[in-house]
Amino acid sequence: MTGHRSPRRVVSLVPSLTEAVASSAPELLVGVTDWCSHPAGLDVPRIGGTKNPDVGRISALAPELVIANEEENRPQDLDALRAAGLTVLVTEVRTLDQAWRELARVLVTGCGLPRPEWLDAAEAAWRELPVPVERTAVVPVWRRPWMVLGRDTFAGDVLARLGVRNRYADHAERYPRIPLDEIDAGAADLVVLPDEPYRFSAEDGPEAFPGLPAALVSGRSLTWYGPSLVAAPAVLAQALAGAR
């Protein structure tokens, strides 16, 4: 957006990006999704979900920039926003390295903000990891039907940095549906169960993988790209170490 006035009215269609903008310039946000839960107490008009945003309501808010993500938001919704005359910045985040670049593109290039200190702190936290113990995991992200992490995902890259190889990293699909009795748990050392998008818990998930240690992890630490990345290495490492 070089050469253009920095936007003063921003709508975010991605919880991670909402938190990233709010951490630096909350006054820019004029609309966020129903799923934007961080930072706590965020008092901004809600415009629907990530998959079903209210295009009319967004247009009425007159944003100068809408920030989105190619995985979390549907192309048809983004096309409708462009057709309404709105500027849409679409991110792609499938690795940590992409996350650093895209966060800078949104915050610095897109919103005209100074590079935030937390972004430098997050990069440093992930550079300074100890040498991990290598393990292989099955990583369900949904049940009824069962879905697992497949190839080319941000969460898969995050786990790999912590020494956890995704059993289905070479699958043709990014989030394959695999019946429970076909999940190859025998080739894994543990099962990683995040609390979002499906809210796995000690009572809902581990029982499906008897004999396999289960790590209950923060979905925000595993899948969000924003200020949570500063603490994510320590949070996830502790959860993985406590697998039982």
Whole-prediction pTM? 0.92
C-alpha 195/C-alpha 169 separation (Å) is 20
**What confidence score (pLDDT) does residue 244 get?**
81
CB of 140 within 8 A of CB of 193? yes
Asked if the model's pLDDT at residue 176 lies above 60, the reply is yes
Going by C-alpha positions, the residue among 74, 54, 72, 71 that lies closest to residue 63 is: 54
pLDDT digits (tens, 9 = 90+) for 200-238: 999 999 999 998 999 999 999 999 999 999 999 999 999
Q: Is the alpha carbon torsion for 56, 68, 151, 230 positive or negative? A: negative
Residue 1 pLDDT level (bands cut at 50, 70, 90): very low
Q: What is the mean pLDDT of residues 29-58?
A: 95
CB of 138 within 8 A of CB of 148? yes
Cβ-proximal residues to 64 (8 Å cutoff; 6+ apart), any chain: 7, 8, 9, 10, 87
Q: Which residue has the higher pLDDT, 242 or 118?
A: 118
The backbone torsions φ and ψ at residue 191, rounded to the nearest 5 degrees and listed phi first, read: -115, 135
- Helices 232-241 and 117-127: crossing angle in degrees, nearest 10, is 40
Domains of the chain: 10-115 (3.40.50.1980), 128-241 (3.40.50.1980)
**What confidence score (pLDDT) does residue 2 get?**
43
Residue 210 burial class via C-beta count within 10 angstroms: exposed 0-12, middle 13-18, buried 19 and up: exposed
Asked if the model's pLDDT at residue 63 lies above 70, the reply is yes
Go through 148-185 and write b for each residue having 16 or more CB atoms within 10 A of its CB, e for each that does not: bbbbebbbbbbbbbbbbebbbbebeeebeebeeeebeb
Length of the chain: 244
